[in-house]
């Protein structure tokens, strides 16, 4: 699947979730690492906030090893590609 499409679909699922549902969804597993997308809230301020944040979570170490704030889908796809190639 094209990574831009993968990011766009995941973002669409997260912003259309019901109130109270988790704002995080898994995108991919690479060995012991998981790439997750997180949307903290629906944009409503005049301050420019990222659309979402991608996290690279290491399940062996049980910690986040990389995180990228993404302001658009293309930036998210590039961040996803960088995390996959790590």
- The lowest-confidence range among 10-14, 16-20, 21-25, 61-65 is 16-20
Closest CA to 30 of 63, 11, 57: 57
Residue 74 has pLDDT above 60, yes or no: yes
Percent of the chain with pLDDT over 70: 90
Residue 83 is predicted with a pLDDT of 96
Q: How many domains does the chain contain in total?
A: 1
pTM of the model: 0.86
Residue 31 has pLDDT above 60, yes or no: yes
Parent domain of 13: 3-84
Residue 2 is predicted with a pLDDT of 86
Residue 44 is predicted with a pLDDT of 61
Reported as a single tens digit per residue, the pLDDT across 34-71 is 999 998 665 566 677 899 999 999 999 999 999 999 99
CA distances from 28 to 13, 32, 36, 45, 47 (A): 15, 11, 7, 31, 30
């Amino acid at each position: 699947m094209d990574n831009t499409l993968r990011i766009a679909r995941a973002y669409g699922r997260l912003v259309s979730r019901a109130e109270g549902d988790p704002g995080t969804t898994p995108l991919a597993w690479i060995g012991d690492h998981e790439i997750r997308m997180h949307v903290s809230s629906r944009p409503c301020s005049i301050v420019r906030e990222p659309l979402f944040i991608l996290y690279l979570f290491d399940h062996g170490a049980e910690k986040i090893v990389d995180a990228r704030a993404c302001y658009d889908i293309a930036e998210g796809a590039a961040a996803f590609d960088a995390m996959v190639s790590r």
